Structures are given as structure tokens and as C-alpha cells.
Amino acid sequence: MGQNERTGRCVVAVDGPSGSGKSTVSRRLAVGLGARYLDTGAMYRALTWAVLRSGVDQADAAAVAKVAGEVDLRIGTDPQGYGVTVDGVDVAKEIRGPEVTGAVSAVAAVPAVRELLVARQRQVIEHAGRIVVEGRDIGSVVAPDADLKVYLTASEAARAQRRSVEDAADVAATAADLARRDRLDSTRKVNPLQQAPDAVELDTTELGIDEVVARLHALLSERGVA
């Protein structure tokens, strides 16, 4: 990462529901730390895109697991410009579309999918040294030994407003979809969305991105790993 790259292991786990600010905060923090960045949600979305492309039934766990085991999924870790490819195809834009968004929770709930991608995520973390990882089960499952675990929250209204602006969608429809995904992600049997017991909870409803990032830098400084 050029002259801003620093040495010494530092793993920051950022969890929380959609619209809580995870992606923007995580990327900004990674840049400030001279660290890598991993969007685990993009991995599940990319695999979902592959499942949809294959035409297999999303409810067929065995078929979904087969796709997961055969697909060549690659994701970058540069916080200022990471790419996502599936079998050599750039899918960075496609995985943010409504079709993938509507199916990703179901695909991500397949145990074999989570086992495979969690293993991949741990490999990335192990080799990165300094990295900010965002998702829904990072502090609780993927990196339980992270130097800092943060759980970002925000009011349902704030989350819906933010996401509707990002997706140019109706606020009410976005709120309903967020509620649906929250329910599916928090009730799945394997690695559900949950706050790690030792995570710092931070409500971003009334906070700007700079304020949130500054608080995380302060928390890391207190731990001596910033």
C-alpha cells in the first residue's frame, strides 16, 4: 500500500446490519491504518451471483454447495479500489443489484457455504497482517481474536434512508427489505448475525463517518495497536 503501509499485526472486526455504515467506515479506517480491507459480504454476494447464473434452486443446499466448491471467486483487499471476480468475470457492479440482494441471505445460510467462505476469510486475515474486516459474524466467528471488535448499529429509519439513497430506491420498500434480511440473517442456524460479547457497540444514527472513524482510531490507540 505504498508509503502509508505499516508493519505489525492488527485485525479490526466490524459487524452490524445493512445500512449501519460498515462499508464506508471500514474502508476509511483501513486507509488511515495503512491496512488491507476485506468485505466478506461481497464474497457471499459474489457466490450468490454465481448460484443465480448457474440456475440451481437456492433452496437446494447441496446444489448451492456444489457451485460454491467449483467457482473461482476472487476478491481484492485494497480499501481504495478492490475488485470482485467470479470465474474471471468482474461482478463488482452486478452483486449490488436487487436480484442478488434478494437472494444473498438464503445462499449465505447454507452451512457448507459458510464453512467454505469463513475458511477463505481466515486465510486472507492470516496473510494480511493489518486488516479491517467487515461483515455479520467477524467478531463472533471469523476473527474472535481480533484486536478490536466493533458492532455498528443505527435506527431502522436511518438505515433505510441511507440504503435507499445508495440504491436509488423507495425508502419504505428498502425498510421492508432490510427487516426481511435482518430476520433471515439473525435467525439462521449457522453463524447468525450477532454481536460478539466483547465487541464495542456504536450507534451511528446521529454520527457522521468522520466521527465514527475517529472513535475507532481512539479505541485502537487505547489498545496500543493503532
pLDDT of residue 70: 97
Q: Average pLDDT in the 135-153 region?
A: 96
- pLDDT, one tens digit per residue, over 114-132 is 999 999 999 999 999 899 9
On the question of pLDDT at 7 being above 90, the answer is no
Mean pLDDT of the chain: 90
φ and ψ at residue 125, rounded to 5 degrees: -60, -45
Give me the torsion for CA of 114, 120, 125, 131, rounded to 10°: -80
Q: Average pLDDT in the 187-212 region?
A: 89
Domain 2-40+97-220 bears CATH identifier 3.40.50.300: yes
Distance of CA 112 to the CA centre of its chain: 18
**In whole angstroms, how far apart are CA 159 and each of 41, 171, 178, 211?**
17, 10, 8, 17
- pLDDT, one tens digit per residue, over 52-69 is 999 999 899 999 999 999
On the question of pLDDT at 168 being above 70, the answer is no
Q: Average pLDDT in the 180-201 region?
A: 84
On the question of pLDDT at 226 being above 80, the answer is no
From start to end of the chain, where are the E strands?
10-15, 36-39, 73-75, 84-86, 89-90, 130-135, 148-153, 200-203
Q: Where do the structural domains in the chain lie, given as residue ranges?
A: 2-40+97-220
- Residue 2's pLDDT band (boundaries 50, 70, 90)? very low
pLDDT of residue 214: 96
DSSP track, 113-134 = HHHHHHHHHHHHHHHHSEEEEE
